[in-house]
Amino acid sequence: MTKTRKAAVVGGGVIGGGWAARFLLNGWDVAVFDPDPQAQRKIGEVIDGARRALPGLYDRALPPEGSLTFHDALADAVEGADWVQESVPERLDLKHRVLAEITAAAPASAVVGSSTSGFKPSELTAEGARAIVAHPFNPVYLLPLVELVGDAGTCTTASEILRAIGMYPLTARKEIDAHIADRLLEAVWRECLWLVSDGVATTEEIDEAIRMGFGLRWAQMGIFETYRIAGGEAGMRHFLDQFGPALEWPWTKLMDVPDYTPELVDLIAGQSDAQSGQHSIRDLERIRDDNLVGMMRALRKTGSAAGKVIADHEASLPKAMPTPEPAPVETVRRDVPQSWTDYNGHMNEAHYLEIGAQATDSFMEMVGAGPTYIAGGLSYFTVENHLCYLGEVLAGEELVVTTQVLQGEGKKMHLFHRITKDGEVAATMETFLLHVDLTTRRSCPPAPDVAEALLAFAEAHAALPRPDQAGKAIGAR
């Protein structure tokens, strides 16, 4: 039996809570140290948000949650940890004290990461503590990027761990104040402050300019690939030739900052309140998370940017490949994402078909007709489906689909899926497929190994009772 790995989180604010959620929901035990008497409540709320959002990125179940514990002493929290994440406030003297305690108490084999957004590893370790920069982005439980800076060997170990929990480690080539992403954010932030200070635009108008325009492009392609396309068929070189001279024009105030006065603070805070003050912070977090899940799932379909990270992580999750037995086989286990619900507050009817289709795809893999087989020019096409809706399903609930083979000879694959929650059948889906040559787009016999595997399941299921819904059509009572 594999030993559950342990992460220790020191500092339980928004970032520390996000780290705790990311590890916990990927099957790690998590120990938290934070002297704040409200830490348990605050982290609990962050984890609740993660439970609502993170599983919605995946079409397979994440590992069972680890255990979450809170400790009064730092040494107790880091004992036996494989990863220790320091997420205390951005004060170098405080980080020195905390990292010294961690270094003294944590196992020598543990990765010690700091969530610092600005300090360099040489500054963090100047007094003898050990640490690398492991700088994430909020919400840590959804956004994959982690900037790593520091000892090369430790960063390599950290990268392997982070990929295993669905994150994207980006190791900086050299240390620099504020790393990579925050340098970019700071540049945009300075321009935004000038635009407000000079009365050019309000906070809402600036946000609209980002989210209605280049923000959508950046989410999938970043800036260099976006500008490569802007260069047309000639690519980046043409773009540089065309727009390079503009770099000498006085468009930007990047090297200057408006006077940070109470009046500027009041102006920005007031505009921000008018823009979104009608929502609580928790409401805004839920809106943000739902939007992120929807966009990242869309990116996943094309294997782009953050979507590829999700797809790669899901492919690494354990997946059973059962042998034929006289019982329906589990083909899907997953949570219902918020995006699957409709105006009635429950799972929309179309997504029952979607999860049934996922069960069919999963079963096809079990008999050897998965992606490699399809890439070779053979597959199964659905000819007919019949769905019966028997129970209500809500966002966040876990669904398990079991599949029974009703027929599996020659070109035919006839399956019956039971979609269950809490052991009760919420829906059934009967599906009939024919094997097809993708070159001719006509039916043909499957490859011998696939035919043999499918027949083995059909024979194993032949003695099972025929489901009540099988073979029925819609009829008024």
Render 114-142 in DSSP notation, one character per residue. E--SS--HHHHTTTS---EEEEE-SSTTT
Place of tokens 């300090």: 119
Q: Is 11 annotated as a binding residue?
A: yes
Residues 6+ apart with CB under 8 A from 307: 296, 297, 298, 299, 300, 301
Instruction: Check the CA dihedral 369-370-373-378 and report its sign.
Output: positive
- CB 425 within 8 Å of CB 402: no
Q: How far apart are CA 345 and CA 393, in angstroms?
A: 9
In the DSSP assignment, the letter for residue 212 is I
Q: Is 16 annotated as a binding residue?
A: yes
Q: How far apart are CA 450 and CA 413, in angstroms?
A: 11
- CB 197 within 8 Å of CB 161: no
Q: How far apart are CA 206 and CA 400, in angstroms?
A: 45
Neighbours of 342 (CB within 10 A): 11
Q: Is 15 annotated as a binding residue?
A: yes
- Total residue length of the chain: 477
Q: Is 14 annotated as a binding residue?
A: yes
Render 37-86 in DSSP notation, one character per residue. TTHHHHHHHHHHHHHHHGGGG-SSPPPPP--EEEESSHHHHHTT-SEEEE
- CB 206 within 8 Å of CB 268: no
Instruction: Check the CA dihedral 131-137-142-148 and report its sign.
Output: negative
- CB 389 within 8 Å of CB 349: yes
Helix (H) or strand (E) holding 252: none
Place of tokens 């916990």: 24
Distance of CA 325 to the CA centre of its chain: 34
Say which amino acid occupies 230. A
- CB 150 within 8 Å of CB 133: yes
Bond before 169 cis per omega within 30 degrees: no
Which stretches of 177-334 are DSSP H helices? 181-197, 203-209, 215-221, 224-230, 236-243, 262-276, 281-302, 305-316
Annotated binding site: 11-16
Annotated binding site for NAD(+): 11-16
